[in-house]
Structure 1
């Protein structure tokens, strides 16, 4: 086969079947020329070094993001533990009021709502503790079929039913109990990226778990199914 008959695919196939080729001929690494993304010619060794540097930068960014996420998760968990500690000595009669106040202190957001069916609030009173309405029940009937929180840029009808006419960029709504039998817990912000769709909500779901346990202990005989 003449040199003119050798194709790039032949060279590629040969090198793939002989991965030791450049180890046996290292001098070629400095002779080969490749084109950079900017169109500049550089030798293969320099090109490989640049690729490794780019990959390291990407890996460092990913590592730093993982570290930030871990620190944030640890901070949220610590806040949850502190919140539960502070609620330990609160009487059942005022537990929900204290719970909402703790939400404002430990998990602040521009808007917070604890939505409960009639009869579950007892003597608890707070501006952000509201009763389930027909409008809210209709807008969040999807929790009859799903247990995952609803987050992101919610429909205006859904936001209005919970927060009224407010400037809201993103929100998250979590069901309390199976099929939201004990109501809803909702947070909203003017920031569009504070509650993005599919965001991790493990800590917030633990909050609904705490509420669910409270209602199961204090209303174990009730047959309430708020979203039905």
Structure 2
């Protein structure tokens, strides 16, 4: 007599018993992901919110993908922080240079000291290649470049019509007036500001060979501070200056 096979009913394991059956919603999500395996490639922002156990294998798991994404974002944030620190250090240096120049202007006892302080500071400390400080006077001045307010209005009236800094590429006759015909040919872009306080006293212009260097008044905050102080200091030594309307 052959032995009859014995069949015994196995008791479901505790893990199987405890595991809940997937809901219709979960099944629908799983089916969608199976049909669209590129979903998380197109929606990487979701990876940072997922909680998936790591499993070793030949393919890159979502956990590893998530870690890479977080790592990349961390590197990007460090780069941004480094850029902000560089800007802060540059501003600190600019502030220190501007402070020294302003103190020199306040302490100046003559027009010559004012002119020397401005031109030397901008050329040597600020490393500006082209500097033009023109004073407005109806009679000759002992130092510096000077012109009458009428001549200035004819040549660069549009640049000194208000207290705003004008930045960009200037016209040929404006460059020739500000920097001289020879130097003006090499100026690509300029920042120009009128020196005015209860009347127009002059104009300050700085230039670069790069046509894109001075544009849209970007980075000219410290130049406006210098112009404000100059506008208040100059009348002490150029009493012949008169308002321009």
TM-score calculated relative to the size of structure 1: 0.67
1:141 has 2:137 as partner: no
1:45 has 2:45 as partner: no
Partners of 1:30 and 1:148 in 2: CA distance = 64
Aligned pair partner of 1:54 in 72, 76, 83: 72
Whether the 8 Å contact between 2:201 and 2:235 is mirrored in structure 1 is no
Q: How far did 1:111 drift? A: 1.1
Deviations 1:10-57 (A, max 9, x none): x99xxxxxxxx944xx34x769xxxxxxxxx84322332232233223
Partners of 2:139 and 2:101 in 1: CA distance = 21
Whether the 8 Å contact between 2:192 and 2:203 is mirrored in structure 1 is yes
Aligned pair partner of 2:128 in 109, 113, 119: 109
- Structure number with larger C-alpha Rg: 2
Aligned length: 201
Whether the 8 Å contact between 2:160 and 2:203 is mirrored in structure 1 is no
Equivalent residue number for residue 83 of structure 1: 101
Whether the 8 Å contact between 1:136 and 1:158 is mirrored in structure 2 is no
C-alpha distance 93-48 of structure 1, shift in aligned 2 (>3 A): same
C-alpha distance 55-113 of structure 1, shift in aligned 2 (>3 A): same
Partners of 2:207 and 2:229 in 1: CA distance = 20
Equivalent residue number for residue 18 of structure 1: none
Deviations 1:101-140 (A, max 9, x none): 3333332322100122224873223xxx343674664544
Q: Secondary structure at the match of 2:170?
A: coil
Q: How far did 1:141 drift? A: 1.7
1:97 has 2:115 as partner: yes
Partners of 1:147 and 1:202 in 2: CA distance = 13
Whether the 8 Å contact between 1:113 and 1:130 is mirrored in structure 2 is no
Q: Secondary structure at the match of 2:201?
A: coil
- Provide the alpha-carbon RMSD of the alignment: 3.8
Q: How far did 1:173 drift? A: 1.0
Q: How far did 1:73 drift? A: 1.3
Equivalent residue number for residue 175 of structure 1: 194
Q: How far did 1:94 drift? A: 2.3
Q: How far did 1:204 drift? A: 1.2
Q: How far did 1:217 drift? A: 4.5
Equivalent residue number for residue 168 of structure 2: 152
Structure 2: segments with no counterpart, 5+ residues: 1-23, 40-48
1:197 has 2:216 as partner: yes
Deviations 1:155-212 (A, max 9, x none): 4443233222421222211222269822221011213454343312121111101111
Mapping for residues 11-22 of structure 1, pairs under 5 Å: 22=50
